[in-house]
Structure 1
Amino acid sequence: MYSKIAIKNIKKSFKDYAIYFLTLTFAVCIFYCFNSIDSQMAMTEMSAVQVSYVEVMQTLISVVSVFVSFILSGLIIYATNFLIRRRKKEFGIYMMLGMGKGKISLILFIETLIVGCISLIAGLILGIILSQGLSILTVKLFLVELSKFRFVFSKAAVIKSISYFNLIYFVVILFNIFVISKYKLIDLINSSRKSEKIRVRNGIVSAIILLLSMIILCVAYYFAVITNLNFFDKRFMAAIILGILGTLGFFYGLSSVILVILRKNESTYYKSLNTFTIRQITSKFTTNFISMTVICLMLFVTIGILTSGFSIKSSFETSIKKYTTFDLSFSLDKDNEASNIPIEEALKTTGIVLDDSTNYITMNSYIIDFSVKNMMGKYTDSASELINFNPAFEKSQVISVSDLNKNRELLGEEPLDLKEDEIYISSNYDNLIPTIERFFEENNQVEINGKTYKIKEKKVIEDSLATSPASNNLFSLIMPDEFCEALVPQDETINIIYVGENKEQKIAEVNKLLDKYVTMGTPSFESEIKLSGMTKEIAYDASTGMSTIILFIAIYIGIVFLLSSAAVLALQQLSQCNDSLDRYEALKKIGASQSLINKSILIEVLTFFLLPLSLAIVHSIVGINVVEEYLKTFGNYDILFSALITALIFIVVYGGYFYATYLGYKSAIE
């Protein structure tokens, strides 16, 4: 009997369950898609580097999934509470007919179980379908070829999805039992007669709070900018706290101030149904300002995560080219006796042969007691501030001009010329180049070990010293050969370019050989000889692997946050729709047309969707400008393209929920 009642209730309340059901379905779909990535990549032929990054990504996604499950459980509990609020009178009638609270809880349990099972099955089916497209996207992001496309099904991801959501539904059932046990019959019967009182706060107090909140937000923005994402700076934590308080105060004071302003403009206030619409919005803000604050902050995090994730991916792809000018590079760190040998001899231990198919050069680098911090410290900006606290910049790397010219000759570039009292400054680290250029504006010479050297040419030599996935030349002094003769090499580098008809074959052999030494994306040789190596292909794989991990985590968290924010807003508006039924009925009785009522509903729903999004966008503009300097670390980036992709995602998801909410609200009123 109770099962029949539960099924009839679901059919009768289908419109109420629609957003709830779709939210659950999308949640399961997203959960499955991202937890099945390891199975998706099984259909590709991947290098050891790519495999290592897929394993790291899968581990991180598993960890993030725990966090996501907490977010989704909170969302589902909120949605369940919304459904219970809309059905108080129904539950009151059950109790009047003699049904106990335990039986009502049983009906809710069956309803939750049915809706949960349907959404779980539908979400898994949708997830399995969409994961096929995600498979192709993942393959493209990792820059690998499909060995043979086939339908991918991840049994592990299905089991994980079922396990997590069963646990979530169990918590929801306990919540339902607790909520029902607290209700009294008189409250359930009279729930439809109770409506939220329209309380208008003092206009002056609200205006003061609104003004103070805007000042607090400006201070928070200032602290965020000057601390430059330095998590150890107390002002950065102050920026977060002030940002939350400012957002809370903004929504607390905004509605009353708008009401006061519009009241003074009588021609607008009393036009059409504006008086009713404005009072509706104001009354809801009285109790919803906390939830609006939370939604705004979640949207801010979503915009920031998605935009930064897409930007970092683009940055990695554009910058990797200038860091991989050689087919193969090895470096020998000469800080022990076993490593104090020519690098050609050390290279033999890896099985790599230097023959007619290889053009190569060797070069030494030296370290001297010359502080880059003292030289450049006062010219730094937020992007190059690491000079002032990173111990590596207490000394300087030195390259002889003849060694650098060997590198340039290998690449077919013009050699540099230095007299014995001249110097070049070299760096391919984008964040540091503007600092060096500011130094050039005020200085013509450098004093090293008591001798003055003229700066030969006031431009930064942006040569790459070896192949690597990131900047390999943070700061180097290019010195005359005479200066380096008395120095002991810190390390020796060999740069190799393959030539001839068998070039591709040799590159493939070397990559296959080094694959067995790869650990966490980098070849690591277990030997007393401190040799490290990097091929162009491994560098590309490491770069794309890291950027893809960042992008996938960003999309995963971003979409879950966006889905949660939009669903809470939708459910909140539909839940409060019941409280306003009598008011809309009164409008109809005094002659308001359905088109005017629909317009009022549209303005009301649109306001509650746009206000948190608008402030979130303002927060994001400041936040993205703060992380902009960090994005420069990875190379050039296209923030506009990333913003457009993020906007498209918002239009589809957030806009879809807005439209569904408007239709649901309008349907309930009609």
Structure 2
Amino acid sequence: MSLLDLTWRNVQRNFRLYTIYLFSMIIGVMIHFTFSALMNNKDILDALKNRGNFQMGVTIASVVIFLFIIFFMLYANSFFIRQRKKEFGLYLLLGMSERQITLLVFYETLIIGAISLMTGILLGGLLSKFFGMLLMNLMQYDNVITFSFPFRAIGTTALLFLFLVFIISIQNFIMVHRVQLVELFHAKEKVEKPMKSSTIYAIFSLILLATAFILISRGRESSIWQEHATFGMIAVTVGIIGGTYLFFRQFSGWLLQIIQHKRKYYEGNRVLWTSSLRFLLRSNTLNLTFISLFSTAIIFLIGFVCINYAVQFEAVGRNLPNDIAYQSVDKKTNEKIHTILKNSEHPVEYHNTLAGLAGIPISDRSIAFDNPEYYMNDVILFPEKAYNEIVFLRGDDEKVELHGKEAISLSQGTDLNKLYDKNEQPSFIVKVGKETTFTIAEKKDYALLGWSTDPERSMQIKPAVLVISDQAFQTLKSNAEMKFFEIYQIKNAKQAEVLSREVHSLVTRTPGAYYSSFADVYSNQIESSSLLLFSAAFLAVIALFALASVIYFKQLQEATEEQRQYSILRKIGVDDREMKMVIRKKLLFVFLPPLVLGILYSWFILKYYILDSVQDFPQLNNMIWGILVIYFFIYLLFYLSSTNIYFKIVNQKQ
């Protein structure tokens, strides 16, 4: 019998194991080809305004995805080989050499790899069209994505998975040559000893976890994070990692010991599942810790990028409230720009001219503007009447009423308005013809003019704007330099990049002239945040798949090792219903605590370090809760699937 004949018989005899391994490799190929096909899809590249950023982002994500796939496939292959150690021992006993066994496994890997490559590329091509349409939808583009199999994507996927087969072959060679014949026969018969737990360590684990939660809940504005950030970071890291490890290593075992000392311990099936858990705690501690921390990372990643994506749409509008705004230059240029806008594919919805006073700040600009380095050096003062008219046109509830020398600074980007009491209003001196002292009644997170922009460099710097009373404006007007600004609202401003470039080239002929366009920033910001969300969601799917595989293979291994014990239980009268109940309770311990800890960690971090910073976006809380609910139901499916597979394995006749 040749090695190829033996390979085919092995596939037939161990069809279940080979199916799992084949399915894992197909998923890996499919995921990689889908992402690679997106990166090389002509329809997507033609639709993007920032093709270079897209290709760079997708390339980085592809590398991360491939590393995930390597980790997952090596883990799956390790399980696959361990399950066959007894079979390899029999081959050695019958006279086969280690070289022949290694060659046999290589043939199997090559055949499975070839089948996986063809199937994965076919399925990946189908998925790439769907995900391409999803990406266009995220970016709010209407472009049609055609069905395609880019040759470059096929080539890179084939090369990368040949490399993967090579790595797997090296792993197989090491595993086959490292184990002795006696160990091969007893590979599945190792039994874990019940682990002793310490009350002190159990309590210490809760202290570590409580410390981490308390420090996180203090928020980044608290003194401990402002003054002792390094200490706080170390304490939280030790609390989460160390606390999680000791929770599963010590607290869980201690809790099981407490249950064993209860009077009703021997009633029902409690003795069956608790005894089994005590024996398996030692081997599951690292897995459970990893699952908890990995779940935290997945939820946090998705939560963060979803918040970023949701905020971007409104944030761009807040930072650039005018579709096109520029400082008036000469009359001839203004008329030319107006004609261009009027005759463009983006009709003018309204046009206003704002008159302001040019001022030079004498006081420290940080009094009126947070992070003054992001603002222009000079200050522009607008009357409340002109400001209120623009606010009314926009439909915003941001009107002001000022008296005397009161002023409101438009300190956009502060996230929250800061209203001062009458006796606490800071003084701010501005030279407008002559030095004038204003009292800052409020720092308002609102933009009248918005960031100055450039079609190539996006956002640059913000104009420093003060809104003053109409009375003060009229008094200062006669001795001050006047500046005029043209504000346009146009239709379909998101797609006005070409128009913006044309207007920008005319305005900037006057050195230092202010120019701002919504379109200059929108495509760049939205494409970037959409790509980030898309890549993160893709990575999260892969991470969930890898996490499910770790859990799945671990339970598969334990179920295979415990077939004899469950066979004994069946012989002494334990029926299927009771056995399913024992399995469900046992696996609930494997799934529930890591899920709860992962959700708690991620929620605390998202809540106190991101959501509290964007309180004017109340819908984000519901979005994060939605992510948590979806993750819970995915995890629930893992649990139900694992209990079903576990029962099928232990129910098999030996």
Q: For the superposition of Structure 1 and Structure 2, which TM-score range results when normalised by the shorter chain?
A: 0.7 to 0.9
1:577 paired with 2:564, answer no
Aligned to 1:129: 126
Which of residues 116, 119, 132 in structure 2 aligns to 1:119?
116
Aligned to 2:329: 342
Q: Greater shift after overlay, 392-401 or 258-267?
A: 392-401
Q: Greater shift after overlay, 605-614 or 459-468?
A: 459-468
Contact 1:229 1:627 in 2 (8 A): no
Aligned to 2:498: 512
Contact 2:102 2:172 in 1 (8 A): yes
Offset from partner CA, 1:107-126 (integer Å, 9 cap, x none) = 21122222223233222222
Task: Measure the CA separation in 2 of the matches of 1:155 and 1:74.
Answer: 26
Contact 1:39 1:154 in 2 (8 A): yes
Aligned to 2:278: 282
Aligned to 2:49: 51
Contact 2:295 2:598 in 1 (8 A): yes
Task: Measure the CA separation in 1 of the matches of 2:533 and 2:581.
Answer: 40
Q: Greater shift after overlay, 311-320 or 442-451?
A: 442-451
> Which residue identity does 1:512 align to in structure 2?
V
Aligned to 1:337: none
Contact 1:429 1:473 in 2 (8 A): no
> Which residue identity does 1:179 align to in structure 2?
M
- SS of 1:623's partner is helix
1:667 paired with 2:653, answer no
Contact 1:429 1:474 in 2 (8 A): no
1:152 paired with 2:136, answer no
Contact 2:368 2:411 in 1 (8 A): no
Offset from partner CA, 1:20-55 (integer Å, 9 cap, x none) = 333333333232223333445616974xxx421x43
Aligned to 1:464: 448
Between the two structures, name the one with larger relative contact order (CA 8 Å, sep ≥ 6): 1
Displacement after TM superposition at 1:624 (Å)? 1.0
> Which residue identity does 2:581 align to in structure 1?
K
> Which residue identity does 2:194 align to in structure 1?
R
TM-score, length basis structure 2: 0.83
Displacement after TM superposition at 1:496 (Å)? 2.3
Displacement after TM superposition at 1:566 (Å)? 1.4
> Which residue identity does 2:364 align to in structure 1?
S
- SS of 2:195's partner is coil
Contact 1:396 1:476 in 2 (8 A): no
Which of residues 576, 580, 589 in structure 2 aligns to 1:594?
576
> Which residue identity does 1:368 align to in structure 2?
P
Displacement after TM superposition at 1:430 (Å)? 5.7
Task: Measure the CA separation in 1 of the matches of 2:9 and 2:479.
Answer: 91
Aligned to 1:201: 196
Displacement after TM superposition at 1:440 (Å)? 3.9
In structure 2, list runs of 5 or more residues that go unmatched: none
Distance 1:615 1:405, change over 3 A: closer
Aligned to 2:382: 400
Displacement after TM superposition at 1:99 (Å)? 0.8
Task: Measure the CA separation in 2 of the matches of 1:509 and 1:584.
Answer: 66
Displacement after TM superposition at 1:517 (Å)? 10
- SS of 2:448's partner is coil
Q: Greater shift after overlay, 611-620 or 226-235?
A: 226-235
Distance 1:512 1:225, change over 3 A: closer
TM-score, length basis structure 1: 0.81
Distance 1:130 1:409, change over 3 A: closer
Q: Greater shift after overlay, 228-237 or 617-626?
A: 228-237
Distance 1:75 1:455, change over 3 A: closer
Displacement after TM superposition at 1:443 (Å)? 2.7
Displacement after TM superposition at 1:82 (Å)? 1.0
Task: Measure the CA separation in 2 of the matches of 1:583 and 1:630.
Answer: 52
Displacement after TM superposition at 1:328 (Å)? 1.4
Q: Greater shift after overlay, 7-16 or 210-219?
A: 210-219
Aligned to 2:424: 443
Aligned to 1:426: 410
Offset from partner CA, 1:615-655 (integer Å, 9 cap, x none) = 10010111111342486299564332343245335634x44
> Which residue identity does 2:187 align to in structure 1?
S
Offset from partner CA, 1:173-229 (integer Å, 9 cap, x none) = 10110111111001112234x232332213424423433432443355357755799
Task: Measure the CA separation in 2 of the matches of 1:119 and 1:173.
Answer: 16
> Which residue identity does 1:33 align to in structure 2?
T
Aligned to 1:32: 33
Aligned to 1:616: 598
Q: How do 1:287-326 residues align onto structure 2 when only pairs under 5 Å count?
A: 287-326=283-322
Task: Measure the CA separation in 1 of the matches of 2:103 and 2:508.
Answer: 63
1:99 paired with 2:96, answer yes
- SS of 2:610's partner is helix
Distance 1:474 1:127, change over 3 A: farther
Task: Measure the CA separation in 2 of the matches of 1:128 and 1:478.
Answer: 57
Aligned to 2:160: 164
Contact 1:248 1:290 in 2 (8 A): yes
1:556 paired with 2:541, answer no
- SS of 1:424's partner is strand
Q: How do 1:483-498 residues align onto structure 2 when only pairs under 5 Å count?
A: 493-497=485-489
Task: Measure the CA separation in 1 of the matches of 2:551 and 2:142.
Answer: 42
Which of residues 522, 535, 542 in structure 1 aligns to 2:524?
542
Distance 1:589 1:351, change over 3 A: same
Which of residues 584, 590, 607 in structure 1 aligns to 2:589?
607
Q: Greater shift after overlay, 119-128 or 394-403?
A: 394-403
Contact 1:361 1:495 in 2 (8 A): yes
Aligned to 1:12: 13
Which of residues 233, 240, 243 in structure 1 aligns to 2:240?
243
Task: Measure the CA separation in 1 of the matches of 2:6 and 2:425.
Answer: 88
Aligned to 1:370: 363
- Alignment RMSD (CA, Å): 4.1
Offset from partner CA, 1:558-587 (integer Å, 9 cap, x none) = 222211111111111112223322322221
> Which residue identity does 1:496 align to in structure 2?
Y
Task: Measure the CA separation in 2 of the matches of 1:508 and 1:429.
Answer: 22
Offset from partner CA, 1:246-270 (integer Å, 9 cap, x none) = 2222222232122122112231x22
Aligned to 2:353: 361
Contact 1:202 1:256 in 2 (8 A): yes
Task: Measure the CA separation in 2 of the matches of 1:229 and 1:12.
Answer: 60
Offset from partner CA, 1:82-125 (integer Å, 9 cap, x none) = 11221111111010001111111112112222222323322222
How many residues align? The count is 627
Aligned to 2:256: 259
Task: Measure the CA separation in 2 of the matches of 1:595 and 1:119.
Answer: 38
> Which residue identity does 1:113 align to in structure 2?
L
Aligned to 2:208: 213
